[in-house]
Amino acid sequence: MANKSGSIYGLTILSPVKDDPHAEISPSLAVRMYLQTLPVDGRGPFGRVSSTHMARLVVLDDVVYFGMPSCEEHLKSKYLIFESNFDGELEPYLKQLAAEASDEVHNIWQHCIGYPGVQNVDAFIAYMKRCQVETTFYFADVNNKTVQQTLQALQTQSAVASFIEKNQGKPSEELQPAFIEFMSRLNKAPRPKPGSTKGKELTDELL
């Protein structure tokens, strides 16, 4: 199934943006303006929807064809493109999105045709699935590991590198107890939070 690469789901959603000749602000501009206000780090909505590896929201106005012979084509409407790489299956993910980021989801998708709101979760899921485009050529660069596994691996890598740097070349009788003690501290260390950029600081504290 092309939407998945191992355990990672590659979601592509195209939601048609409303065309409202009476609107004070064009709905596509309203989406863009709102998107610009969202934090892009762990404080953003996808920091809460913690199975998200990466997500992107784009407003696509139209397609433009360059080249010869010229062939003028247009989209039927403007589209909101939502792309997300996440762990697991689609329905639980959309459910989590509706629950953990309901305000943001509403503020974004309210400008889209057919959006039923997030209160009725089943209707929301059905709507999103109707807008889904199969991801036919999907590259997941996260080695089939979950967000949590990836963050933990980064933390471990950084910590182990620091350990090696401090201890390489020591005789085995010193190295082994140092390593056992290091592993015990590493295992008890707090795990980095999704969206966190604090891996290095956590490691420094730990060592």
SS3 breakdown of the chain: % helix, strand, coil, rounded to 5? 45, 15, 40
- With CB under 8 A as the contact rule, the residue among 67, 69, 169, 171 that binds other proteins is 169
Taking Cα atoms as reference points, which of 82, 74, 59 lies closest to residue 129?
82
Pick the binder of other proteins from 168, 172, 180, 187 (CB under 8 A): 168
Cα–Cα nearest to 91, from 179, 200, 11: 11
Which range in 13-21, 42-50, 89-97, 164-172 contacts other proteins by CB under 8 A?
Answer: 164-172
Q: What residues form DSSP beta bridges with 81?
A: 14, 58
Residue (45 or 195) nearer to other proteins, CB:
195
Q: How far is the CB of 203 from other proteins (least distance, A)?
A: 12
Phi, psi for 118 (deg, rounded to 5): -105, -5
Minimum CB–partner distance for residue 174 and other proteins (Å): 14
152 forms part of the interface with other proteins (CB under 8 A):
no
C-alpha span between 135 and 3 (Å, rounded): 5
109: its two tokens:
């998708």
The smaller minimum CB distance to other proteins, of residues 82 and 163, is found at 163
Q: Does 162 bind other proteins (CB under 8 A)?
A: yes
Inter-residue contact 205 to 158 (CB < 8 Å): no
Quick check: 157 binds other proteins (CB under 8 A)? Answer: yes
Question: In the complex, what is the shortest distance from the CB of residue 154 to other proteins, in angstroms, rounded to a whole number?
Answer: 8
Residue 80's closest CA among 111, 53, 43?
Answer: 111
CB of 170 to other proteins, least distance (A): 10
193 DSSP 8-state letter: P
164 lies in the site for other proteins, by CB under 8 A: yes
Number of residues interacting with other proteins: please give it, by CB under 8 A.
Answer: 7
Binding site for other proteins (CB under 8 A): 157, 161-162, 164-165, 168-169
